[in-house]
Structure 1
C-alpha cells in the first residue's frame, strides 16, 4: 500500500511540476488519473486545463466538476476558482449568491484575492446586500489600508 501511495505522490509532484512549467499534455497524463481518484490538488489543475483547453480539448463540464470537487474538499484556490466560475458564468450559469459563498470560504482561509473580490461584491451589492462596512472589513483583511 505504501508503494502505491508514494507512486501517487510522485505522480502528483511530477504532474504539478509539469503544470507549472506549462507542459500541459504531460500534466494531464499524470494528474488526470489522480483527479479521477479524488486528489484535490490534481482536480484543481485538471479543472484549469479543461476550462482553458490546455493539453486537452476545452471541457467546461469536466472543469466545473473538478473545480467543485476540489473546492468542496477545502482547497482555497479551488474555492476561489469556483467562486469566479459562478461570478462570471464560466462553465456554469452565473449565480452571484453562490459566488459570494465560495469567495467567503476562500477568503476565510486568508486568500487575499478572494477577500478583495468579496469586498468589491459587498461594495457593489453583487450577490449580497450592499454593505460598505463589510466591504471595508474585507479590504482591510486583504491588506488594504484605511483611507
Structure 2
C-alpha cells in the first residue's frame, strides 16, 4: 500500500500555507506539480501567482489555463476569477457575456462578490441586457438594502 496520497495532501497543505504566508517561490515549487496532476486548489493558486507574477514571471497563458480548469471543476473562487479575467480582458480576450456566465456560476455557490458584480453588470447593461429589477434582486441576495 502506497502512502502517496498522504504525501500529496501534505504537499498541497504546505503549498497552500506557503501561498497564504506570501512565500510564493516555495508555493510554486510545491503547487506546480499538483496543478499539473489536476489538483483544483493548486490550479487556482497557480493561476493567481501566474497572473500576478508572484514567485514566477507573469504568465497570462498559464494563469488563464489553470483558472479555467479550476473553474470548470466547480471551484467557486476560480469561477469568480475566470469571470473577472473575461470582464477585464486580463489573460484572455475581453468577453462580458462569458464574464456574466461565470459570475452566475460563482454566485450560485453564494460568492457575495460575484452576486455584487453581476448586479452591477445588470444595472449597467454590461454583457447582458440592462435589467434594473434583476440588479435589485441580486443586490438584495448579496445582502445590500434597496438601492
TM-score range relative to shorter protein? over 0.9
Count matched residues. 147
Q: Distance in 2 between matches of 1:2 and 1:144?
A: 51
Q: Distance in 1 between matches of 2:131 and 2:108?
A: 18
- 1:11: which partner in 2? 11
For residues 61-113 of structure 1, the C-alpha deviation after alignment (integer angstroms, 9 at most, x for no partner) is 00000000000000000000000000000000000000000000000100000
Q: Which deviates further from its counterpart, 63-72 or 137-146?
A: 137-146
Query: Where does 1:21-100 land on structure 2 (aligned, <5 Å)?
Result: 21-100=21-100
Q: Alignment partner of 1:92: what SS?
A: coil
Q: Alignment partner of 2:9: what SS?
A: helix
For residues 35-75 of structure 1, the C-alpha deviation after alignment (integer angstroms, 9 at most, x for no partner) is 00001110000000000100001100000000000000000
- 1:124: which partner in 2? 124
Q: Distance in 2 between matches of 1:41 and 1:142?
A: 25
> What is the RMSD of the two structures over their aligned residues, measured on CA atoms?
0.8
Q: TM-score, normalised by structure 1?
A: 0.98
Q: Structure 2: which 5+ residue stretches go unaligned?
A: none
Q: Structure 1: which 5+ residue stretches go unaligned?
A: none
Report the Cα offset of residue 146 of structure 1. 2.0
Q: Alignment partner of 1:78: what SS?
A: helix
